[in-house]
Amino acid sequence: MIAFHPTSRRALLGQTSCAAVSSIPVLNTLLNLSFAEKVSAVTAPASGEYRALVCVFLSGGNDSFNMLVPREASAYSEYQTTRSNLALSPGSLIDIHPVGLSDFAVHSGMPQIASLFEAGNVAFVSNVGTLIEPVQNRTQVNTLTKRLPLGLYSHSDQIEQWQTSLPHQRSGIGWAGRTADLLQGLNANQKVPMNISLDGSNIWQTGDDVAEYAITTSGAVALSNYRFAWQANDTIAQALSQGVDSQLAQQYSNVLMQTFNTRKKGALDAYNAFTTASAGALPGGVTFPSTYVGSRLQMIAKAIQGHAHASLGAVRQTFFVNWGGWDHHSGVLTYQSTMLPQVSAAIGSFYQALQAMGMENQVTLFTASDFGRTLTSNGQGSDHAWGGNQIVVGGSVQGKRIYGQYPSLALNPQSGAEVNPLDTGSGRLIPTTSCDSFFAELALWLGVPRSDLPLILPNIGNFISLSGTQAPLGFMA
């Protein structure tokens, strides 16, 4: 077997990769053509300016009206009456003091979120959900006088719609993917894709021209036994590495084989770049919890620390974490008492790490979930509903505020006068804030021009004026 010297191996690969030409058309739809026309209009960020979005998706449908609870006397009494055996006692709550509103509280297992809220680094977006157009009352729902999301209480449909923001159709293209299609050109000479997932393939980060780069809590995933450097004392790695290099050095006449070859080369280079960038230790003094979310946010902190460096060419990134198990038809109080603290502690450590890196203003984390849950108890837990409450965290967040409209938690009677127009039955609340408005605020902060929002969120014109200057919700500085 011929042995390549390490420098000649890399030189050979570099020469062949320059000659490789992708055969897959980038612009294959009218939407993509529109993206291509808009790219030149995207304002390049200031030198060294880095921004990243981190999505923490709580799959299953978080019961978020026990995560954010009204504390004003009459509103809390209403909450207790409606939630019955699911209501949290005052001793199970931590009071917070939002600007311009009566007092609220968060679940007692979320002290880090409460502290960050009081410090102005956390905001809540209340009663947000999937909408095609504004819906004002249950009559419009019952008579179908408004267009409603497909599969309204279905896990699969609502997870998809939270990730695509296309509640009127089924799609495998996510709004972060469409955002990356538009903005990835800002990452000059990027060595690692813009969208990075800690939980494998997902719709949110899938675009027409981009896909997520999946990593683990240990970092990028390597090709087994492949080594970039020469392995003098490891014959297995040496043989495999030479074989792969030999394959990558070839030019294939078959279109699919050449495309596969080019992408494998890109994946190996991305692994090498990511591993190098994320190898550095985080600033001392910050301890992440050894939990599902904690380990993932720790890895994201390492990735952000490395990707912010100009040598990687990354000025815009998204990160995705998916934690399942929130479908609490029973045991909701017990499960939330162990799960919400994990979310809070992990976010608390993540924000501490961002502060230690001096990057808290450059990263925004937000939560998402399939849907809210019924305000009423099924006896043991709560069932699928519609609107719910979400968290936004970051130094650029206009915190200590609750955005949108926190709804009345009163229930409509089975018959008779309507008490709460938002209650479609059993405390399934019509959202007063659309996912589109929520996501538009984040997309604008990331760098999407206002005029291009319909490329990312096709229904956004139903909720905000595209010709105006008012922020969709106002929670980002």
Lowest-confidence segment of 40-49, 122-131, 203-212, 397-406 by average pLDDT: 40-49
Reported confidence tier of residue 254, pLDDT bands at 50, 70, 90: low
pLDDT digit string, tens, across residues 329-356: 999 999 999 999 999 999 999 999 999 9
Position 79 scores a pLDDT of 98
Position 308 scores a pLDDT of 53
> What b/e readout covers 273-300, taking b as 16+ CB neighbours within 10 angstroms?
bbeebbeeebeeebebbebbbbbbbbbb
pLDDT digit string, tens, across residues 174-184: 999 999 999 98
Q: Mind listing the domains of the chain with CATH numbers? A: 52-225+282-462 (3.40.720)
pLDDT digit string, tens, across residues 263-300: 444 555 666 677 777 777 888 889 999 999 999 999 99
| Stronger pLDDT, 314 or 93, i.e. the higher one | 93
Query: Can you point out the beta strands (E) in 324-444?
Result: 363-369, 388-393, 402-404, 433-434
Q: Which two tokens stand for residue 327?
A: 């479908």
pTM across the whole model? 0.84
| Stronger pLDDT, 406 or 250, i.e. the higher one | 406
| CA-angle at 208, arms to 206 and 214, nearest 5° | 30
DSSP string, 142-210: HTT-S---TTTT-HHHHHHHHHH--TTS--S--HHHHHHHHHGGGSTT-SS-SEEESSS--STT--SS-
Residue tagged 């008779």 (tokens): 416
pLDDT digit string, tens, across residues 98-112: 999 999 999 999 999
Residue 424 neighbours by CB under 8 Å, 6+ apart: 138, 141, 142, 386, 430
**Cα-to-chain-centroid distance, residue 363:** 12
